[in-house]
Amino acid sequence: MESNELFQTVQAICQTDRCHRAAIEARLADLGIHRTQHMVLMYLFRHEETATQREIAQEFRISQAAVSVTLNKLESAGYIKRESHDEDARANRIRLTPEGLKLIDRTHELFGQVDEEMFRGISREQLAEMRALLKRMRENLKGTAEEDKEGVL
């Protein structure tokens, strides 16, 4: 294959990813939250609505101070609440509130709309082929990235 073709294909993948991210971030902004805040809400949702600040920091590989800023914003908006941890008085459990759960439901709807827009005019067969190609590309890259070595990919 010609290197220019490969370059153009990689650029198209990256540009599509940036467009998708921008569309998602615009929908989140309409709801009054930032992407990072949404990521924390989704982490809580996937972990039965409860976690500690330390667990969140470890998951996203960021400082506990950075997590604290995000949690403070989410708490003041009424999307989460902090509760004392039964076994460790220094740690708080973070839980989604009913408002936080409603927000997650709304983001699922909005993200579904973005995905529908992105794949408009693309057949099921083309989607299946795209998934197969992307899977093959991931397999080709296994072992080359630090994230893969840490089990992220």
Question: What was the pLDDT predicted at 2?
Answer: 84
What the chain holds in terms of domains, given with CATH numbers, is 3-120 (1.10.10.10)
Q: Which two tokens stand for residue 128?
A: 């299946």
- From the list 69, 70, 44, 42, the residue with the least C-alpha distance to 55 is 44
State the Cα–Cα distance between residues 79 and 37, nearest whole angstrom. Answer: 10
The CB density around residue 85, as the number of other CB atoms within 10 Å, is 13
List residues bridging with 27 in a β-sheet: none
The one-digit pLDDT tens for each residue of the chain (153 residues) are 788 999 999 999 999 999 999 999 999 999 999 999 999 999 999 987 678 999 999 999 999 999 999 999 999 999 999 987 666 656 788 999 999 999 999 999 999 999 999 999 999 999 999 999 999 999 999 987 765 555 555
> Which tokens belong to 111?
């993200």
Give the whole-angstrom CA distance, residue 66 versus residue 26.
22
For 32, other C-beta atoms within 10 Å of its C-beta total 10
In angstroms, the CA 125 to CA 137 distance is 18
